[in-house]
Amino acid sequence: MNKRLDSLHRAKHFPRRHLTLAVAVVLSLAFASLWSPSQQLSAKRQNLSLTLKPSLELTKQTGETDDTPALPQPANTEHWEEITVRKGDSLSSIFSRNQLSASELYKFANSGKQAADLKYIKPGDQIELIRSSDNKLVKFKYHKSTLVTQLWQYQDKQFKFSELVRKPEIKITFRESTIKQSLYLSSQKAAISDNITMQLADIFAWEIDFIQDIRAGDQFSLTYEEKYLDGEKIGEGRILAARFVNRGEEHFAVLYTDNKGRSNYYNPEGKSLKKAFTRYPVDFTRISSRFTRARKHPILHKIRAHNGVDYAASYGTPIKATSDGKITFAGKKGGYGNTVVIQHRVKYTTLYAHMKHFSRGIRAGKKVKQGQIIGYVGSSGLATGPHLHYEFRVHNVHRDPLKVKLPHALPITASEKSNFKKQSSAVLAQLAKLQNASTFALNP
Ligand SMILES: [Zn+2]
């Protein structure tokens, strides 16, 4: 079982910070992998139809969603030899096993970056090739993944490279469940994969405390993408809409992609489900000192306010910016030692002190992203041991970083509002319809 899911399963012992820290990573990975392929596809495919005229078996392989017109099928006398990559294989061993000369290998391997990347072939990978009657390599095909096939053709005394990226068919799937013991178990029962369960937990991570607040009787339903190729399921995409009823309170999430191509989850009113700040700037072992208006300073032995929170962590633990912003200070600052101050939007500032050292490129005037590593835990300045001293200011007034109400990430902009309303009401209506249908089916 996945470690994070296992933690969801054992909800009570799961520190929330791990869950929230993983949100950005999981979502950004999902978007990176899901948005680019379809956008690149049309360009790549056009390119393909220009360069791959004789190679018809490739165009034949495209998925049902392919809009490239079918080319006429010529009499095909080419013989493709099929090769499965063995354990310990390299391009060189494959060539020699198949009686292709060292000079053929040299010509092919040095034909460009893509051929050079064939050093990453793995056992089980499929290769196909065509040779001429005088045993020269004419075509080389590598099935890089379910969706990507690479082709090299020897033409005009060089290998020409082209790539076919297939587009999976997307089907929308509906699932729902009522929690009896844990989110994980109820998801399993409803045939929801680990991947989708994690996405669901991440989407609502700021709204619902999956550690403390989940109760028997909580319900959820969701629609998400499933990817198919030639009628076979090859994976899952994103959650499109979700409803989660936690202790009688109903939460909704809708995926929306703005006109700049950025995708985020919002509630039906267009408010982002993400917070602008992560709660913790460091993966700490314990909180060694809390925010207080007055306390005795451990070194100065004077009564002093402690304007932040101290997170004990070992030397060198990465410190991450808690939100996007601009560095206003990076340097030595008296008892604070190596310190970074970041300005966020207009009214927020965060401060990170006692660093061992800064990470590369961190200096005043630089912009940073949420989660970016700005430095490493140390004990510079007045510090009894390695820890991060973290401050959070609103309008220049110190607030308790553990208690301050964190602002939401930016909502839908005014110019996108009407488009958002249209899209979100459509996906929410679909969710409601599927839900009613299934309720009806269960209780006729
Ligand atoms: Zn401190």
Rama region for 132: left / alpha / beta (φ>0; ψ in -120 to 50; rest): beta
**Domain co-membership, 202 together with 99:** no
**Domain co-membership, 110 together with 188:** no
Would you say residue 385 lies in a domain? yes
Q: pLDDT per residue over 362-412, tens digit each?
A: 999 999 998 999 999 999 999 989 999 999 999 999 999 998 988 888 899
Whether 143 shows a pLDDT value over 90: the answer reads yes
Distance from Cα 326 to the centre of ligand 1, integer Å: 22
Domain CATH code at residue 131: 3.10.450.350
pLDDT of residue 439: 65
Residue in 399, 345, 337 with CA at minimum distance from that of residue 367: 345
- Calculate the average pLDDT of the chain: 82
**Domain co-membership, 178 together with 146:** no
Distance from Cα 427 to the centre of ligand 1, integer Å: 47
Distance from Cα 387 to the centre of ligand 1, integer Å: 8
Distance from Cα 391 to the centre of ligand 1, integer Å: 8
Q: pLDDT per residue over 335-350, tens digit each?
A: 999 999 999 988 999 9
Tokens of 148: 């990507």
Count up the domains in the chain and report the number: 3
Residue in 3, 36, 4 with CA at minimum distance from that of residue 20: 4
Distance from Cα 187 to the centre of ligand 1, integer Å: 42
pLDDT of residue 213: 85
Distance from Cα 358 to the centre of ligand 1, integer Å: 18
At a CB cut-off of 8 Å and minimum separation 6, what does 51 contact?
A: 160, 162
Angle between helices 16-51 and 194-203 (to 10 degrees): 120
Distance from Cα 354 to the centre of ligand 1, integer Å: 9
Would you say residue 177 lies in a domain? yes
Cα–Cα distance measured from residue 317 to residue 373, given in angstroms and rounded to the nearest whole number: 10
Distance from Cα 381 to the centre of ligand 1, integer Å: 11
**Domain co-membership, 123 together with 89:** yes
Q: pLDDT per residue over 42-55, tens digit each?
A: 333 332 222 233 33
Q: Is pTM beyond 0.75 here?
A: no
**Domain co-membership, 386 together with 291:** yes
**Domain co-membership, 189 together with 156:** no
Q: What percent of the chain has pLDDT over 90?
A: 63
Distance from Cα 353 to the centre of ligand 1, integer Å: 8
Distance from Cα 390 to the centre of ligand 1, integer Å: 7
Last residue within a domain, chosen from 238, 266, 294: 266
pLDDT of residue 3: 47
**Domain co-membership, 138 together with 191:** no
pLDDT of residue 295: 63
**Domain co-membership, 173 together with 256:** yes
Would you call 130 helix, strand, or coil by DSSP? strand
- Helix, strand and coil content of the chain, in percent to the nearest 5, comes to 30, 35, 40
Distance from Cα 24 to the centre of ligand 1, integer Å: 27
Q: pLDDT per residue over 287-317, tens digit each?
A: 888 898 766 667 767 667 889 999 999 999 9
One-character DSSP codes across 381-405? SS-SSSEEEEEEEETTEEE-TTTSP
Strand runs labelled E in 230-359: 232-246, 249-257, 263-266, 286-289, 292-296, 303-306, 309-312, 318-320, 325-332, 338-344, 348-358
78 or 228, which is more confident?
A: 228
Q: How confident is the model at residue 444 (pLDDT cuts 50, 70, 90)?
A: very low
Distance from Cα 203 to the centre of ligand 1, integer Å: 32
Tokens of 7: 């933690």
Would you say residue 23 lies in a domain? yes
Residue 98 identity (one-letter amino acid): N
Q: pLDDT per residue over 97-124, tens digit each?
A: 999 999 999 999 999 999 999 989 999 9
**What separation in angstroms does the CA of 98 have from each of 113, 144, 168, 329, 349?**
23, 20, 34, 62, 64
Domain hosting residue 359, numbered range: 286-399
